[in-house]
């Protein structure tokens, strides 16, 4: 069929690793940093983050319980995403180096990295 993508690539590379889009490389760690600072030291968020400073201080002072619970939730979700990436890479036959890279990328960037990993599958084994 025209336009249909195959699920397995004939040239599967067990060393394959690609970072997510550059926007995500900047945005996700920045927002994780603001969330961590809002929980740990809301008055010490660097001034050059502009409106995010006000937002972080607002969350910490007006909604401290929500901010703490959301921070714990985000930590748990990102940890589970890292485990998911490790499992996917192990099942698909990536080598150790690529598996570590994907696991760290999954822990930090989450679903933004899964978008790059999901279509890569080893060729189907014929017996």
Residue 34 φ then ψ, to 5°: -60, -40
**12 vs 43, residue with greater confidence:** 43
Q: 31 lies in which domain range?
A: 22-117
Could you tell me if residue 59 is inside a domain?
yes
Could you tell me if residue 1 is inside a domain?
no
d(CA 37, CA 93): 38
Could you tell me if residue 96 is inside a domain?
yes
Query: What are the CA-CA distances from residue 23 to residues 20, 29, 31, 48, 112 (Å)?
Result: 8, 11, 12, 19, 10
Could you tell me if residue 111 is inside a domain?
yes
- Res 5: pLDDT: 47
Could you tell me if residue 8 is inside a domain?
no
Could you tell me if residue 13 is inside a domain?
no
- Res 10: pLDDT: 53
- Res 1: pLDDT: 47
Q: Is 50 left (phi over 0), alpha (psi -120 to 50) or beta?
A: left
Q: For residues 109 and 28, is the Cβ–Cβ distance under 8 A?
A: yes
Residue 61 has pLDDT above 80, yes or no: yes
Residue 48 has pLDDT above 50, yes or no: yes
Q: What's the pLDDT band for 6 if we cut at 50, 70, 90?
A: very low
């Amino acid at each position: 069929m025209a336009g249909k993508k195959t699920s397995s690539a004939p040239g599967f590379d067990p060393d394959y690793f690609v970072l997510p889009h550059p926007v995500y490389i900047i945005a996700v760690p920045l927002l994780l940093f603001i969330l961590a600072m809002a929980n740990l030291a809301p008055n010490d968020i660097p001034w050059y983050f502009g409106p995010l400073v006000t937002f972080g201080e607002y969350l910490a002072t007006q909604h401290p319980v929500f901010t703490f619970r959301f921070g714990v939730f985000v930590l748990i979700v990102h940890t589970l995403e890292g485990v998911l990436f490790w499992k996917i890479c192990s099942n698909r036959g990536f080598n150790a180096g690529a598996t570590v890279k994907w696991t760290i990328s999954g822990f930090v960037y989450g679903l933004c990295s899964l978008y790059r990993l999901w279509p890569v599958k080893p060729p189907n084994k014929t017996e």
